[in-house]
Chains A and B, each alone.
Chain A
């Protein structure tokens, strides 16, 4: 990584102007990935880091040839990718093992598909199982294995086909922290000792520390539609120590990059708040999470400004949840973030210290002011003589902006928030929104 390599052959994978949209209806497309240009060089581990829904998984699937790009091209070793390519192997988030096959049979699967003879298959599979530390479990069924062991089978299955590029889709996210650490360091050992012929690794993750430990380069994704926001080179030596001040600095830097405001904000009294439109994809956050988070921020344990990595660790929140809560608080103007630190606003402090009734009032006021969808629903209900409306009506409106799935989710959140704030009522059986309280 230190010397500049110009030869074309050293690029394992190259994407050029890759764009992906899904068909929403006959006339509308939903853009999930916009103009991605990315290069995987030889001897490089690249982490794709972003919140859920930022298109990082989609990009990996386009690179692997599992799904086609809407526009643009993926080049693997000089040839365009038009489907799964031999030479790339993938490790899946939930292992994707076949429960009716033994560990050995699962590992052999890829070789079987390539038409490798039975004896060679057996020998190679046993070797891969050996390398990944699964000896003794050859005849076990996946049901008998713990998550960590299952994912080792996933790795063995990928390694046995002798790939040039290893693709990993959040491979450690279904494991507990210790198991994930253990497997991660085993993988890094394999990589550094060059026990395999793998020349490059792409790893999708939403775990900031994981990206910092693994990667030579971190691509940070922005959302709606997904794009590469930052390309961060990491030149810390391996093995990396999570307590090392340099490492902490790197993590801080990633947090800052990930919470850096983009263009959709306006400046109020020196603070740039996030403002949203009707069709904004609201983060899926429950009231209790928001309340608990604000109470924690307001507690005497913290100064006014709190460091995000520290907070995530204290509250044992994964990064996805943390960012969702922060986003919701920012939208509602209960808190704001700058340079990787978070701080409650005046209203946020008031809320944290209020009793239940007062909290509902504050929440209602902010909901109506800053969430256009909630305001819109309330206005429609106010205008109607009967003060009732079907949720389908709003769903259809939302579907102008979002996929059906996302629209349903957003409506669900706004209904939950609205019910808490008592700005409208909702009946599950009929799907009717109204201004009346239930009998």
Chain B
């Protein structure tokens, strides 16, 4: 390797000419192909469309790549919006105490609103916004996917901004960085590792909603957007087992590609933003990074991009001085603040009045109590499922976690499983329930946890791997075995990780309940008793007030459980069981 271009090339040599190599060709083909495909997809999205019109979906498996492309596009577009949302509102909340007081609780509540309710609630509005265009239903779907990503990413960004070391903030002020420069030079890079991680987790989780959001019934109109989700919905409608299988296969390939082309390169790139001193230099590159590193022309355009980036960061427009503490206070500012709170309060009071009037104009109090009762049932399901899953996956996770070789093997597989939209498997389970006449109330329940149980396993493995070697040595040195070993060493050791996993799993289960409690196969409809089923039925009927009521109650349940159960557990884990 004495003459590799990688070693010679440096920043100062960018003017010397050189011929492109084979790697350039490969990389250019790859880039062009991605651009053409994306452009084609976007064009298809903007075709004309009338409400009531059915978009022909074909079960021909050769259409699946195209459908997969449309699904991926939706995901990427909503990711862009999620990032814009994050940069604006995450920053606002971290920088202004007054904005923080409203933004953070808002996001907290929005997080607990089931994603599919967003879809049902907004689709009519979006169709009205883009009359006669595919953009209407497209936007509704994209918005729903956005809601499954944005909150999590924004919260992580906000948390990161709040922990930017004070000295770095001072250095930024001392060296006169503008707000704009500071944002791109300090804030975003500092937040980058957490940001990337949350983007990846959120995207994994949102495959579920990509699939679910494509086929939606509004006021008895069934709208199917071209995509894998619609393909499988049609397969279910026609009770076509083979098509279900093809869809699952296609999705597996998509997730694999997404992992290789996006996930891994991104997380590799994110390493450089890690703040801690890291002695681990053994990190292997990805084949994609290697491909681009072996090119000359592509790398040259990378340098152009870098130049563009630099002038972007140093735009003169936004040259306000960034202060560490904006404390040179003025009187009128205080007045403005008071006005701001009065305004907020007025909006709040109005919203409350409108919502309650809207709901109770149509719905009796009695039904309100009934919906709460349904909520209790779904809540019981979620809790029982979490307990059952814990009994299964904690021992499995501990077993794997204690064997580092297996960890490396299983970890990526579990990540893939977590990303895989579990709703694609629903038809398989429903087929079984129908064939063997099983109890709907019981056997539809596992569907809720199908996709999110992996978070428990994933976190338990991570927790066991993080246990200090000395702790295990102490255990064997003092002959701590059997139940004592579980009680004193492992369970306390992994508790913080377990709690994180359980919180994620439970949150996902609530969201999934909307799909899982009301499923069908062909003409057979299976509807369990529960809040999820209630919301689905009301959405299908286009009963707006009841949909709002159901959504509101689910919201309240999720928030209440977070406050009563998960919050204290999380704090306990953090205070007593965190191994530093």
| Chain A interfacial positions (CB closer than 8 Å to B) | 61, 64, 66-68, 82-84, 86, 88-90, 92-94, 96, 98-101, 109-110, 112-115, 118, 139, 141, 143, 157, 161, 429
Give CA–CA (A101, B328) in the complex, Å: 32
CB–CB B275/A99 < 8 A: yes
Q: Interface readout for B300-336 with A: 1 if CB under 8 Å, 0 if not? A: 0000000000100010100001011101100000000
**Does B469 touch A at the CB level, under 8 Å?**
no
Q: Which residues of A contact B173 (CB under 8 A)?
A: 66, 83-84
CB–CB B316/A90 < 8 A: no
The CB with the most chain A CB atoms within 10 A, among B170, B178, B186, B576, is that of: B170
> Which of B170, B174, B314 is close to A112, meaning CB atoms less than 8 Å apart?
B314
Q: Which residues of A contact B277 (CB under 8 A)?
A: 143
**Does B265 touch A at the CB level, under 8 Å?**
no
Between-chain CB contacts (< 8 Å), 9 pairs: A66-B174, A83-B323, A83-B328, A89-B174, A94-B165, A96-B170, A98-B185, A109-B185, A113-B181
CB–CB A86/B189 < 8 A: no
**Does B167 touch A at the CB level, under 8 Å?**
yes
Q: Which residues of A contact B189 (CB under 8 A)?
A: 98, 100
Q: Which residues of A contact B275 (CB under 8 A)?
A: 99
Give the dominant DSSP class at A's interface: loop
Give CA–CA (A141, B275) in the complex, Å: 11
**Does B168 touch A at the CB level, under 8 Å?**
yes
Beyond A67-B327, A96-B171, A98-B189, 10 additional contacts (C-beta under 8 Å) are A61-B170, A66-B174, A90-B170, A94-B167, A96-B165, A100-B189, A100-B272, A109-B185, A114-B176, A143-B278
Q: Which residues of A contact B374 (CB under 8 A)?
A: none
**Does B343 touch A at the CB level, under 8 Å?**
no
Known A92-B167, A109-B185, A115-B316; judge A68-B328 contact (CB<8 A). yes
Query: Which B residue's beta carbon lies closest to that of A93?
Result: B167
Query: Which B residue's beta carbon lies closest to that of A428?
Result: B576
Give CA–CA (A84, B173) in the complex, Å: 7
> Which of B171, B192, B325, B576 is close to A429, meaning CB atoms less than 8 Å apart?
B576
Q: Which residues of A contact B181 (CB under 8 A)?
A: 112-113
Query: Which B residue's beta carbon lies closest to that of A112?
Result: B314
Question: Nearest Cβ distance between residue A137 and chain B, in whole angstroms?
Answer: 14
Query: Which B residue's beta carbon lies closest to that of A82?
Result: B328
CB–CB B174/A98 < 8 A: no
Known A96-B171, A99-B275, A100-B272; judge A66-B324 contact (CB<8 A). yes
**Does B177 touch A at the CB level, under 8 Å?**
yes
Give CA–CA (A368, B321) in the complex, Å: 53
**Does B409 touch A at the CB level, under 8 Å?**
no
Would you list which residues of chain B between 159 and 191 have a CB under 8 Å from chain A?
Answer: 165, 167-168, 170-171, 173-178, 181, 185-186, 189
**Does B341 touch A at the CB level, under 8 Å?**
no
Of all A-B residue pairs in the complex, the 5 with the closest CB atoms, nearest first, are: A110-B175, A96-B171, A96-B167, A100-B189, A113-B177
Q: Which residues of A contact B175 (CB under 8 A)?
A: 89, 109-110, 113, 157, 161
Q: Which residues of A contact B176 (CB under 8 A)?
A: 84, 86, 110, 113-114
Question: Nearest Cβ distance between residue B337 and chain A, in whole angstroms?
Answer: 15
Give CA–CA (A96, B100) in the complex, Å: 27
Query: Which A residue's beta carbon lies closest to that of B175?
Result: A110
Q: Which residues of B contact A110 (CB under 8 A)?
A: 175-176
Q: Which residues of A contact B576 (CB under 8 A)?
A: 429
Query: Which A residue's beta carbon lies closest to that of B11?
Result: A139
Q: Which residues of B contact A66 (CB under 8 A)?
A: 170, 173-174, 324
Known A68-B327, A83-B321, A143-B277; judge A98-B168 contact (CB<8 A). yes
> Which of B167, B170, B273 is close to A99, meaning CB atoms less than 8 Å apart?
B273
Q: Which residues of A contact B323 (CB under 8 A)?
A: 83
Size of B's binding interface in residues, CB under 8 A: 33
CB–CB A90/B171 < 8 A: yes
Question: Nearest Cβ distance between residue A67 and chain B, in whole angstroms?
Answer: 6
> Which of A67, A98, A115 is close to B325, meaning CB atoms less than 8 Å apart?
A67
Question: Nearest Cβ distance between residue A143 and chain B, in whole angstroms?
Answer: 6
Give CA–CA (A139, B273) in the complex, Å: 16
Question: Nearest Cβ distance between residue B175 and chain A, in whole angstroms?
Answer: 4
Give CA–CA (A101, B275) in the complex, Å: 11
Known A96-B168, A99-B275; judge A115-B174 contact (CB<8 A). no
Q: Which residues of B contact A94 (CB under 8 A)?
A: 165, 167
Give CA–CA (A110, B173) in the complex, Å: 10
Give CA–CA (A101, B184) in the complex, Å: 12
Known A84-B321, A99-B275, A143-B277; judge A90-B186 contact (CB<8 A). no
Query: Which A residue's beta carbon lies closest to that of B278?
Result: A143
Q: Which residues of B contact A157 (CB under 8 A)?
A: 175
Q: Which residues of A contact B327 (CB under 8 A)?
A: 67-68
Query: Which A residue's beta carbon lies closest to that of B12?
Result: A122
Question: Nearest Cβ distance between residue B239 and chain A, in whole angstroms?
Answer: 54
Question: Nearest Cβ distance between residue B11 and chain A, in whole angstroms?
Answer: 8
Q: Which residues of B contact A93 (CB under 8 A)?
A: 167
Give CA–CA (A246, B225) in the complex, Å: 87
CB–CB B186/A98 < 8 A: yes
Give CA–CA (A114, B171) in the complex, Å: 14
> Which of A67, A92, A100, A112 is close to B171, meaning CB atoms less than 8 Å apart?
A92
Question: Nearest Cβ distance between residue B505 and chain A, in whole angstroms?
Answer: 27
Give CA–CA (A141, B273) in the complex, Å: 11
Q: Which residues of B contact A88 (CB under 8 A)?
A: 174
Q: Which residues of A contact B185 (CB under 8 A)?
A: 98, 101, 109
Question: Nearest Cβ distance between residue B308 and chain A, in whole angstroms?
Answer: 13
Give CA–CA (A109, B277) in the complex, Å: 22
> Which of A67, A100, A109 is close to B324, meaning CB atoms less than 8 Å apart?
A67
Give CA–CA (A261, B328) in the complex, Å: 38
Would you list which residues of chain B between 174 and 228 have a CB under 8 Å from chain A?
Answer: 174-178, 181, 185-186, 189, 192
Give CA–CA (A68, B329) in the complex, Å: 10
Give CA–CA (A141, B192) in the complex, Å: 17
Would you list which residues of chain B between 520 and 542 have a CB under 8 Å from chain A?
Answer: none
CB–CB B321/A100 < 8 A: no
Q: Which residues of B contact A61 (CB under 8 A)?
A: 170
Question: Nearest Cβ distance between residue A251 and chain B, in whole angstroms?
Answer: 30
CB–CB A92/B170 < 8 A: yes
Give CA–CA (A174, B34) in the complex, Å: 50
Question: Nearest Cβ distance between residue B492 and chain A, in whole angstroms?
Answer: 13
Q: Which residues of A contact B274 (CB under 8 A)?
A: 99
Q: Which residues of A contact B168 (CB under 8 A)?
A: 96, 98
Question: Nearest Cβ distance between residue B276 and chain A, in whole angstroms?
Answer: 9
Query: Which B residue's beta carbon lies closest to that of A157?
Result: B175
Give CA–CA (A301, B181) in the complex, Å: 59
Q: Which residues of A contact B328 (CB under 8 A)?
A: 68, 82-83
Q: Which residues of B contact A118 (CB under 8 A)?
A: 310
Give CA–CA (A89, B167) in the complex, Å: 14
Give CA–CA (A173, B328) in the complex, Å: 32
Q: Which residues of A contact B10 (CB under 8 A)?
A: 139
Give CA–CA (A115, B180) in the complex, Å: 13
Question: Nearest Cβ distance between residue A76 and chain B, in whole angstroms?
Answer: 14
Query: Which B residue's beta carbon lies closest to that of A86?
Result: B176
Give CA–CA (A66, B328) in the complex, Å: 11
Question: Nearest Cβ distance between residue A410 and chain B, in whole angstroms?
Answer: 21
Q: Which residues of B contact A68 (CB under 8 A)?
A: 325, 327-328
Query: Which A residue's beta carbon lies closest to that of B323?
Result: A83
Give CA–CA (A231, B549) in the complex, Å: 72
Q: Which residues of A contact B167 (CB under 8 A)?
A: 92-94, 96
Q: Which residues of A contact B272 (CB under 8 A)?
A: 100, 141
Give CA–CA (A334, B178) in the complex, Å: 55
CB–CB A109/B174 < 8 A: no
Give CA–CA (A157, B328) in the complex, Å: 28
